[in-house]
Copies of this chain bind each other. A is one copy, B any other.
Amino acid sequence: MSLVSVGTVAFDAIETPYGKTDKIIGGACTYISLAASFFRKEAKIVSVVGEDFPQETLDMFSSKNIDTNGLQIIKGGKTFFWSGKYHQDMNTRDTLDTQLNVLETFDPVVPESYQDCEYLMLGNLTPAVQLSVLERMKKRPKLIVLDTMNFWMEIALDDLKKVIQKIDVLTINDEEARLLTGEHSLVKAAKHILTMGPSTLIIKKGEHGALLFQGDKIFHAPALPLEEVFDPTGAGDTFAGGFIGYLAAADDQSWETMKKAIIVGSALASFTVEKFGIERLTEITIDDIKARINEFSLLSSFNFNKEDFTF
């Protein structure tokens, strides 16, 4: 089924305890669409870059069947730039520089051929922009997934609540779930969020995996224990892209398929963190992903038989 992803396409400069990059390709929409491209014959993107954005990356997108008709290239404009430095524990980071550039006046264009898409991923972005994309759809997509962050809860909560009302699946991290609801318990926070609009909630817990909530059901996807997290940038976006890409390909929103989709997202994210930026994501094949999913099965499967309590 057709899939549209909205979000940033950007330049990042990243410093981790393992090293440092110059300007490399980043942005939520980049990770989302690359992750989704493993499952979709065509992943369409809505975003904006400046004239400084490299043609070779646009060519790479095409080679991955990523449809860039909705990617505006602003003449004379400069691409959004973010620079950050991760702390030793890799769980926290400092933003060193943010240059919004063309993002400042981003008015998303949703091409005619995108407007009847069935799966829509609203990557982390100003809630008002996420809302405007929704309004520009000819019909409501079958499934709308939204990612956001604490920043918008602090400066644009009303807009965020408006867009959250209109979606099906929200993905946020544990601290954001607590911030959004004032509840420390994630189970209580989830119950609260499921009254705000979405019927499904994903709470990302980084190295501790992710929780999927729907009605009274809960599923826990582990994270793969890694010797080294080389660069966590884009892990959450990769996760979201793998999740919606898998759902769109299966064209099924059942609980069982959602569980598998969250494992697919986790598997893809476990590749992203192995190298800087999108490097690993552009190297791997569907067979690598299948092998990684098998590792997730080994990691979390157990099986009690009837005889197990007849001591």
Contacts and interface: CB of A to CB of B under 8 A. Distances in A.
Interface of A: 39, 88-89, 184-188, 205, 208-209, 211, 217-222, 225-229, 249-250, 256, 259-260, 263, 286, 290, 293, 297-304, 308-309, 311
Given A220-B299, A309-B290, A211 B225 contact: yes
Q: Which 5 A-B pairs have the closest CB atoms?
A: A208-B208, A249-B311, A220-B222, A259-B302, A187-B227
Copies in the complex: 2
Contact of A187 (B211, B226, B311): B226
Contacts of A205: 208
A188 B205 CA distance: 20
Given A256-B302, A263-B304, 12 more contacts: A185-B226, A187-B226, A188-B227, A208-B209, A217-B298, A218-B225, A219-B300, A220-B222, A260-B303, A286-B309, A297-B304, A300-B300
Contacts of A188: 227
A38 to B, nearest CB: 9
Given A293-B304, A302-B263, A186 B225 contact: yes
A218 B249 contact: no
Contacts of A299: 218-220
A184 B88 contact: yes
A232 to B, nearest CB: 13
Contacts of A39: 311
Contacts of A184: 88-89
Contacts of A250: 308, 311
Contacts of A229: 185
Nearest to A41: B311
Contacts of A89: 184
Given A185-B226, A309-B290, A304 B219 contact: no
Contacts of A186: 225
Contacts of A300: 219-220, 222, 300-301
Nearest to A226: B187
Contact of A301 (B228, B293, B301): B301
A63 B308 CA distance: 24
A187 to B, nearest CB: 5
